[in-house]
Every structure is written in C-alpha cells, then in structure tokens.
Structure 1
C-alpha cells in the first residue's frame, strides 16, 4: 500500500516530464543512449562521442533538462523533509530549476573561457564533455530515486545520506575516469590544470560551504 502523499502532484508532474524527456532522447538517438547507459563501466561512449561533441548538442541538451528537473525535485524532497513543508509553490520550484540550470551553464562558459586563457582548450573540452556526461547520468539515476521517495519509501535522514553518498561515488568515478583518460595531456599541462581545478572545481564548493556556515 502506498504511503499518503501530501501535495506531491508537482513533484510527480516534473518526474514524469523528466521521464518523457529521457524517452525522447532514447528515441532520437537509440544507439547513443545505449552506449550512454553503460558509461560507468565502459569508456566507449566517451571515446566515440567526445570527438563529435558540439557546443549545442540535442542529446546532451535533453538529458541536461532532465538533470535540472530531477535535481530540483530531489532538493525539494529534502527541503520538505527538513522543514515539514506541506506545499511547495510552483513558482519556487521553477525558480530553483531555473537557478540550477543557469549556474551550471555559467560555470561551463567560464570554464571554457579559462581554458582559452590557459590555452588548454582541447583538454578542457574533452574533460567538460566527460563531466557533463556523468552529471547527466546522475539525472537518469535520480528519476527512479525520486519516484521511490515519492511513492514507496518514507524519506529518512539515513536514506538521504545513502542516496547522496551513491551520487557522490558516481561523480567521483566520473572524475577518476576523466583523469585516467587524459593523464598524458594533464601531465603536459599540469600547472594550468591545477590552477583550473582550484579556481573552478574546488573554490566554488569552499565558497558555498562558507555561505552555509553564515546562514
């Protein structure tokens, strides 16, 4: 028997919308989607499609939209748990989704700009493709996770810790895979790559941590 749902209609609509978007991505690029699903255990997808990557890619774009929707739903499920809020205004949900999308896009644009300044465009372009691919993969994982949290499991703090740990592990696997794939390029540009990591991978999280401490 399903647990009682309180004002989760918006979450359900966004989760179903994310599922539809993923289905469209699969229908429009079935072979690529098949390779993408196996990206955690196989570098085939990264090796093949990194060469043909575009700044505006329909497949990545669709999965990116799902990532934004799924991540927004997950964040609000956590927010609802800690604040015991019964209703989430649709405006708040859309604002958060829009904010997440804008932050990620601005970060990617700044990363490309920094790469140009350091003259390591090729290295960073391939690194960004892999990083975005693994983030989109997290969006796929969040679809069933959100559905289970909404309709099956009662959210608990322990369950949130387990889910977040799982997502972090997937992200770390992606980073390690990226480093292994481009280790020769990274060694040749080690100084600039370290500067890049400090400026755009480590510093933002340090700043966010400081902000949360002041709240």
Structure 2
C-alpha cells in the first residue's frame, strides 16, 4: 500500500513557521521570563507599561529583537491566512514570504518615523509613553493571537474567525492606548488625527498595493 501523506506542502511550511515561532517564545522565556509574562498579560495589567514610561522605546536589544521578529511573523500569518485566496494566485511559502517582507518593511518604517519625529520635533518626553503603549500592546496582540492561529489552523479552519479575533484584539489595543493617553490626545487632537491618517492609514494602503502587485 502507498503511504498516505498526512499534510500537503502548504500545511507543511505553515507548521514549520508555527514551530519556529514557538522556538522564539522559548528564547524569549530564556532571555527575560518576567518581561514575557508582563507583555502577555499587559491588557489586564496597566501598571506594566507605566513602569517603562521613562525608558526609551527601542527594539535593539536581544529580547526586543526576538519579540519584534515573532510579532512580524504573527501579523504576516494572520494577513496571509485570510487574504491568500484573494491576493495570491499561487498560494504557498513564496507568497507568505512576500507578505512577511511587506509587513516587516511597513512596521520597521513606522517605527523609525515615530522615533525620528519624536526627536526632531522635541516631543520625546511627551510621546514616549504613547509609543511604549503603541508598540508594547502590538507585542501583546501578537502573543495572544499565537494560540488562536494554532486553533484556527488545526481545528476551526475559518478565516473569518481568525480575522475577527485579530480585529477584536486590535480594537482593544486602540481603546487602551486612547484611554491611557487621553490628556495628550485631547490636548493635541488635530495633530493626533493628522498622525493617525499619515502613519496608520496611508501605510496600510501601500502595504496592500505592495502585496497585490
């Protein structure tokens, strides 16, 4: 009898990416276990980022670089899992790699623009806490979406469930950022709206065009 292949090529590379992501989490636990727990429960522990309010928001540490890489993979997997049939003619690792590169470029560019504007406009002290929450909660969303990705891939298998879960987490993230920075936002409402349209909406349109060409 001919052996039955348990997984197809698409499921194979997807599983390997999930396993690599699990390895990254294990590495995070080895580097800073308390920090990993803190980011994982940050939605329910508002004091976690308050302790970091005076720290410079940097991703250039072993822990942050690993967490950044993990987050890029999670966002790319969510994006690919839902939009692969709509955006890509040939589904597979090559298409996922394209998505991964676009997401990496998008988030890294936003990070450098945020830091550049904060320093050039002398707003570092005013917006540092805002940036801590913005990127910190992004890491939290990605840590929480990881088990949902596994559940969706091997049990539920619904793109709508995955996307809905991701959107709910993003909405929760946005509300927490707004609530914790309400004085800054209300005091500079025009500039905040300008910032949101320029650095949050416009890059998404560029990302969409990049992955569909």
Q: TM-score, normalised by structure 2?
A: 0.79
Deviation at 1:198, TM superposition (A): 2.6
My pick for the range that moved more, 143-152 or 32-41, is 143-152
2:71 aligns with 67
Unaligned runs of 5+ in 2: 1-5
Q: For residues 92 and 166 of structure 1, do their structure 2 counterparts lie closer, same or farther at Cα, with a shift above 3 Å needed?
A: closer
Secondary structure of the residue aligned to 1:152 is helix
1:137 aligns with 140
Q: Is the 8 Å Cα contact of residues 88 and 95 (structure 2) preserved in structure 1?
A: no
Unaligned runs of 5+ in 1: none
Deviation at 1:57, TM superposition (A): 3.3
Q: For residues 175 and 82 of structure 1, do their structure 2 counterparts lie closer, same or farther at Cα, with a shift above 3 Å needed?
A: closer
Q: TM-score, normalised by structure 1?
A: 0.79
Deviation at 1:105, TM superposition (A): 0.4
1:186 aligns with 185
Aligned length: 205
My pick for the range that moved more, 190-199 or 64-73, is 190-199
2: CA distance, partners of 1:185 / 1:76 = 35
Secondary structure of the residue aligned to 1:73 is helix
1: CA distance, partners of 2:88 / 2:111 = 35
Is residue 101 of structure 1 aligned with residue 99 of structure 2? no
Deviation at 1:118, TM superposition (A): 4.1
2: CA distance, partners of 1:128 / 1:167 = 21
Once the two structures are superposed, the pairs formed by residues 1-215 of structure 1 within 5 Å of their partners are: 5-7=7-9, 8-55=11-58, 56-80=60-84, 88=92, 90-153=93-156, 155=157, 159-205=158-204, 207=205
